[in-house]
Amino acid sequence: MTLQSLAQILASGLLMGLIYALIAAGLSLIFGLMDVVNFAHGEFLMLAMYATFGIFAATALDPVLATPIVVGAMFVLGAFVYLAVIRYAMRAKANIGMVQVFATFGLGITIRGLAQHFFTPDYRSIQTSWLAGHTLDLAGIFLPVPQLFGAVLSCLSFVALFFVIRRTDFGRALEATREDAGAVALVGIDKNRVFALGWGLGAALVGIAGSVMAIFFYIHPDVGSSFALIAYVTVALGGFGSIFGALAAGLLVGLVEAISATVLSPSMKAIGIYAVYLVVVFMRPRGLFGNL
Amino acid sequence: MASQELPGRDSSAVAPRAEAGGRERERIDHDASLGSFARRRHRKLAVAALTTVAIALLPLVIHDVYLQNIIVLTLMYAALSQSWNILGGYCGQISLGHAIYFGIGAYVSTLLFVHAGLTPWLGMLIGGVFAALVALALGYPFFRLRGHYFTIATIVVAETGLLLMLNWDFAGGAQGIQIPYGPDSWAHLQFARDKLPYVYFALGFALLTWLVTFLIEDSRWGYWWRAVKDNAEAAESLGVVVFRSKMAAAALSAFFTAIGGSFYAAFVSYIDPDSVMGFQLSLLIALPAVLGGIGTLWGPALGALVLIPLTELTRSYFGGSGNGLDLIIYGVLIMVIALARPEGLTSLFGRTRKARATPQARANPEARANP
């Protein structure tokens, strides 16, 4: 293996890793806020991809321009899911952990069924878009432009997310609510409002990832499942609730995937991710940056 | 449910009692409520015996092969979920990777039968023991993980197993293995057309797992597991060996799940990694217990009775068309039951029990928040 091909593997791994981190960030945010793992996260991603495709098919608006619309729609969807489903799951008097797991699983399966019903199980793809098919030649290392666009959006999103959490009233309310959801009510913060906004934000983040991935992935009702598992692994690897952990773990997962696809075989690339994950949680049961 | 029926037998008080010697036992003997406790256990046995007889007579009335097929699957999932319930329900370790044990059972017995001609009866025992050993080997590192970390680790382990089987050519790879047809025989668990023997095998399997759970419920292990589920730290401080409790539950749970896998392989005569190790299977093993009532004696059977016929029927009516209606019904059902009946369907029966359990749950919500 030449130095050049090694650099190529690392570069594509990092690009994909940033996108994985973006998918995982929403999941980790929601978990950190209220200790709920959204097992319908993959379906959120799938819906965002379909939304991007739908906008393109209906109005020929390029995915790059459709991103803000998709992200806005996903924000509304996330808040709605909290208000319509999760709020009630939090009220369960028995087996709360179990109820949350299976309520979100049921939701995911329902969304997949709805997608199959309304969009058919056919594989879709956006044939012509501004970015698709272009590559950037950087000293002999080829970077696919759609992935590069996704990586840039991911970096911007993480900067914005850190800013929102550290510097805004909403971010402080978010932090306070995750510390003690009961106590914030005493200082006039509506817990349900913060949770709904948190879910909206989590879904919006995966919406960004979905609108970018619609450019270079086939879109079908089951597309979310494979990425969802990577997202759960990424979040557990980084530590549930840690946004920085999601970023670091996303990069690690992307790198490991790119390396094991070359060293093992493309069909075995997930084995590398799983192996690294299992070794890490064996040594650090709460992930790399988990401090719960 | 036995633990909730008797005041003073709830799991928080259980640990010291399980440890205590003869004096404690004598005191209980004089306890007036013990008579009704024993009566309740006898009643449960009677209900189980009646149910078994009723199901055994069922195929004599229902001759339709398709319906008999559903009966076999319902019984099999009742047994599988009962096995899952040992670890997930009683011990509180939510595994969504039980497909790996099912797959081990299916592959071990099938490979031994196809390549060595070994009867599936022995094959399933070997598969069960192997699955239990795998569960112990996995439990050693993973029982340090808590809550969602544990659940995700179980998913990942099962997916790893799935990928390895997909790429292992000796075991058929992605194409899977077809069990060669022979004459009908109990020794080979092969019956070309007749479904009846499978109904009785599945019934025996379901009854066996029920009996094991029934015996465990009132044993020291049963109390330890519930103590670990409710509050592992408190249990440990009272002398429960938490780690060993989890390991025992995992091994027992894996053993019976693998037996189900061996049976399934013989039943359908064809296995491939996706059908015996896929994630959907892990979900389907856990769901009946969740719907029926986790950590309860009747929950898995009741959940399977509702879930399996419903999914099979919706799949055959809507599934082939690929219009997603089967998924929508399946998903909404899971969601609605999880939200509307967090205690499971068994809570519909016996209102007094629920009334007693609720204030207890309200007084100690923390213990249940993080399984």
pLDDT tens for residues B164-190?
999 888 888 888 898 888 778 887 788
Closest-CA residue of B relative to A292 is B146
Q: Which of B9-18, B38-47, B233-242, B267-276 has the lowest mean pLDDT?
A: B9-18
| Chain CA centroid to CA B370, Å | 21
Return the pLDDT at B320. 64
Does the CB of A82 have a partner CB in chain B at under 8 Å? no
Residues 94-123 of B with CB under 8 A from A: 94
The confidence band for B33, taking pLDDT boundaries of 50, 70 and 90, is low
More confident residue, B337 or B254: B254
Residue B30 has pLDDT above 60, yes or no: no
Instruction: Over range B57-69, report the average pLDDT.
Output: 85
Percent of chain B with pLDDT over 70: 84
> Smallest Cβ distance to A109: which of B152, B325, B331?
B331
Q: What is the pLDDT of residues A66-81, one digit of tens each?
A: 999 999 999 999 999 9
Query: Residue A290 falls within a domain, yes or no?
Result: no
The secondary structure of A187-198, three-state, reads: HCCCHHHHHHHH
Can you give the pLDDT at residue A182?
80
Contact A119, B347 (CB under 8 A): no
For the segment A148-205, what is each residue's pLDDT rounded down to a tens digit? 999 999 999 999 999 998 888 888 888 888 888 788 888 888 888 999 999 999 999 9
Angle of CA points B209, B211, B213, to nearest 5°: 70
Q: Which of residues 80-99 of B touch A (CB under 8 A)?
A: 94
Q: What integer pLDDT is reported at residue B8 of this predicted model?
A: 39
Residue A153: strand, helix, or coil: helix
Report the pLDDT averaged over residues A236-240.
89
The pLDDT assigned to B237 comes to 81
Q: What is the pLDDT of residue B239?
A: 76
Residue A289 lies in a domain: no
- Other CB atoms within 10 A of residue B34 CB: 13
Residue B354 confidence (pLDDT): 42
Residues 285-344 of B with CB under 8 A from A: 287, 290, 294, 322-336, 338-339, 342-343
Query: What 3 state SS string does chain B have?
Result: CHHHHCCCCCHHHHHHHHHCCHHHHHHHHHCCHHHHHHHHHHHHHHHHHHHHHHHHHHHHHCCCHHHHHHHHHHHHHHHHHHHHHHHHHHCCCCCCCCHHHHHHHHHHHHHHHHHHCCCHHHHHHHHHHHHHHHHHHHHHHHCCCCHHHHHHHHHHHHHHHHHHHHCCHHHCHHHCEECCCCCCECCCCECCCCCHHHHHHHHHHHHHHHHHHHHHHCCHHHHHHHHHHHCHHHHHHCCCCHHHHHHHHHHHHHHHHHHHHHHHHHHHCEECHHHHHCHHHHHHHHHHHHHHCCCCCCHHHHHHHHHHHHHHHHHHHHHHHCCCHHHHHHHHHHHHHHHHCCCCHHHHCCHHHHHHHHHHHHHCHHHHHCC
How many domains does the structure of chain A reveal? 1
| For residue B60, pLDDT beyond 70 | yes
Closest CA of chain A from B255, distance in Å: 23
Would you call A143 helix, strand, or coil by DSSP?
A: strand
Residues of chain B with pLDDT > 90, as a percent, come to 38
Q: Is A291 on the interface with B (CB under 8 A)?
A: no
Would A159 be classed as within a structural domain? yes
Q: What is the ipTM of this complex?
A: 0.89
pLDDT above 50 for B353:
no
Confidence of residue A290 (pLDDT cuts 50, 70, 90): confident
Ordered by where they begin, the domains of chain B are: 2-279 (1.10.3470)
Structural domain including A102 reads: 3-283
The candidate with the shortest Cα–Cα distance to A162, out of A245, A60, A79, is: A245
Q: Is the pLDDT higher at B362 or at B128?
A: B128
Q: Taking a C-beta distance cutoff of 8 angstroms, is the pair A236, A281 a contact?
A: yes
Check residue A207 and give its pLDDT.
96
A 10 A CB-CB count for B176 gives 19
Q: Are A41 and A206 in contact (CB under 8 A)?
A: yes
Average pLDDT, chain A: 90
Burial (CB count within 10 angstroms: exposed 0-12, middle 13-18, buried 19+), residue A160: exposed
Average pLDDT over residues A118-130: 88
Q: Do A111 and A47 form a contact (C-beta atoms < 8 A)?
A: yes
Q: What is the CA radius of gyration of chain A?
A: 19
A-chain residues near B348 (CB < 8 A): none
Lowest pLDDT segment from A238-252, A268-282, B83-97, B173-187: B173-187
Question: Per the structure block, which two tokens stand in for B38?
Answer: 């024993």
Strand partners, A141: A138
> Which pLDDT belongs to residue B243?
87
Mean pLDDT of chain B: 82
Give the C-alpha separation, A45 to A58, whole Å: 20
Q: Do A281 and B149 touch (CB under 8 A)?
A: yes
Does residue A161 lie in a domain region?
Answer: yes
pLDDT of residue B366: 45
> pLDDT digit string (tens) for A12-51?
999 999 999 999 999 999 988 888 889 999 999 999 999 9
Per-residue CA distances from B306 to A142, B14, B70, B292 (Å): 55, 33, 12, 9
β-strand partners of A138: A141
pLDDT tier at B5, thresholds 50, 70, 90: very low
Q: Cβ–Cβ of B369/A97 closer than 8 Å?
A: yes
How confident is residue A221, by pLDDT bands cut at 50, 70 and 90? very high
- Amino acid symbol at A113: G
**Is pLDDT above 80 for A56?**
yes
- The reply to whether A288 falls in a domain is no
In chain A, positions 200-239, which contact chain B (CB-CB < 8 Å)? 221, 225, 229, 232-233, 236
**Separation between Cα atoms, residue B211 and residue B200, nearest integer Å:** 16
CB-based contact, A103 to chain B, within 8 Å: yes
Q: How far apart are CA B151 and CA B136, in angstroms?
A: 16
* CB contacts, 8 Å: B159 with chain A: 229, 270, 274
pLDDT digits (tens, 9 = 90+) for B106-139: 999 999 999 988 899 999 999 999 999 999 999 9
β-strand partners of B178 = B270
In a domain, A61, yes or no: yes
